[in-house]
Each structure stands twice: as structure tokens, then as C-alpha cells.
Amino acid sequence: MLCVLRILLVGVAGLVALAAPSGVGAGAENLPVYDDPRLVDALDLLDASSTTAHLRGVLEGNRVNIQFSPMAPGVYARYSVQRRTIEIDTRWSDAGAETLAAVIAHEATHAQDAVSGYLATGGTSACIDSEVRAFRTSADFWTDTFGVSGKLDVTTDLERQLNQIAQREQMDPGSLEAVVRQTYSGQCAH
């Protein structure tokens, strides 16, 4: 299970740069347009969960776009600080709204850390802390949506991995944090 979790941790890795854009608010004309029904459904689910209800405000207030993009094998999604964009691998474009919402929750946590300036000032430890928070946020959303047993009718590797992360967060949050810290120590050092 640890091996599978480690693969997910590497696979779902958000591209977290250490330079953050300013957190200046935007007028309504500059807000991102979420017109893809798949993304709208996922954002609506985030709004409905007490653990992630604040994330749409973070995304809209900081003009963060969300789009599907082809990615290298092993990369499921990423957040680009420079482009203020969450990219989700096109292979997940047919994923259920709950799965997309969990991925967006993870990446939106990185966006929140970037626009607050935390990533720019905290170095390697801030990067790793952001990963821990991102995995916990997606795990909390997943548990809030499906309960402590997770999604029962999983159909993809991503859903299985989200179940495993959420279950680990529920049963042993310290071990989830330890695995994330170990996995991202090298990536965050650059």
C-alpha cells in the first residue's frame, strides 16, 4: 500500500514554483470563466463541502484558471504559479465530478499558498508543507463526500489512490504526512 501511495504522491504532484504572484484582487471582468460543465460540477461539489467551500473564492479572487492539458506519464495535475492555472491531465477529462473536485482541491491548496506569498518566503519547508496541506485537503474532501470507507465503486487508479490517501489520513495522519515529506523532499529542494 505504501508503494501505491508513493506512486500517487509522485503522480499527483503539483508543480509548485517558489515565486508567487501578488495576491491583488480582481474585478468581475477579470474573473476566470469556468464554462466546462465538468469543471463547473466539480467546483459546485467543492462549494458544498465544508472542508473546501472557501477554495472557489481563492481561485476566482486570484484569477486562477482550470483546464485540461496533456501531461507526461505520472503527472496527474499541476498548478502553474506563473500562469495562475490548474492543469489536469486530459486522461482524467471523463473522470467523475467528485474525482475532479478532489484533484482541484489539491491544486487549489497550492494556489492558495502561492498567492498568499507563503511559498515564496518559506523555501523547501513551505513547499513540503504545501504538499502536506494539499493531500490533506483532497483527503478531507474525499472523506466528506464518500465517508470514512471511501468511494465504494472505484473505476480508476486515481479513485483507488484517493481512497487510500483519505483512509490513511483518517487512520494515521502522521504516516501520510511522513510519506509526503519524504516523497517531496527532493522535488521541493529545487
State yes or no: pLDDT of 55 exceeds 80.
yes
Q: What is the pLDDT of residue 189?
A: 82
* Under 8 Å between Cβ of 132 and 180: yes
**Mean pLDDT, the chain, as a whole number?**
85
- Mean of pLDDT values over 42-52: 97
Cβ-proximal residues to 118 (8 Å cutoff; 6+ apart), any chain: 20, 126, 130
State yes or no: pLDDT of 4 exceeds 70.
no
Q: Which residue has the higher pLDDT, 22 or 83?
A: 83
Confidence tier at 117 by pLDDT (50, 70, 90)? confident
Q: pLDDT tens-digit profile of 138-187?
A: 999 999 999 999 999 999 999 999 999 999 999 999 999 999 999 998 88
Share of the chain above pLDDT 90, in %: 69
Q: What is the pLDDT of residue 8?
A: 40
Q: pLDDT tens-digit profile of 9-38?
A: 334 333 333 333 334 444 455 668 788 999
- Mean of pLDDT values over 94-108: 97
